[in-house]
Amino acid sequence: MAETRGARLSEKSLAAPLTRRALLHRSALLALSLPVVSAALAACGGGGNGGGGGEGGGTTIRMSEYQFSPNTLTASAGQEVKVTLRNEGSLEHDFVIDNVITSDLVAPGKSLEVTFTAPSQPGQYEFYCSVPGHRELGMVGTLTVQ
């Protein structure tokens, strides 16, 4: 009887509409877990195109809600970096590195090629989507300048 009651409770709670607070809570948990999962996958991945621009055809960054993939880039100080921004999401996104580049908005299903010069000082620089709320939901990455 206790199992039946428990099953009914879980069926009821699954069928109940989400409150705004519950939805925000779930969104926050998802936003916090995405960078962790992305970092783990990046660490496990082999090869791929998570490097910098330069000689080859550059790097393609896939943008979706609310992440960049890959979320890391590497470049030499002062290097010209070529990046193709491919929006695979359902919202507009852009690509910003403060004092370095601010791309145009990229519409869903579209791509945009951008070229910028990596900062002359080695270090780590955050890139992010400047659409309101996207950065706060975890749409960030790191450019490492060597």
- In whole angstroms, give the CA distance from residue 4 to residue 126: 51
142 dihedral zone (left: phi>0; alpha: psi -120 to 50; beta): beta
Q: Is residue 64 part of a domain?
A: yes
pLDDT digit string (tens) for 102-115? 999 999 999 999 99
More confident residue, 34 or 93: 93
pLDDT digits (tens, 9 = 90+) for 6-16: 445 555 555 55
Inside any domain, residue 36: no
* Residue at 22 is within a domain: no
Classify residue 91: in a domain, yes or no.
Answer: yes
Number of domains within the chain: 1
CATH number where 80 lies: 2.60.40.420
Judge contact between 71 and 142, C-beta under 8 A.
yes
Q: Is residue 5 part of a domain?
A: no
Q: Is residue 26 situated within a structural domain? A: no
pLDDT tens-digit map of 31-88: 665 565 555 544 444 444 344 444 456 899 999 999 999 999 999 999 999 999 999 9
Domain of 52? 42-145
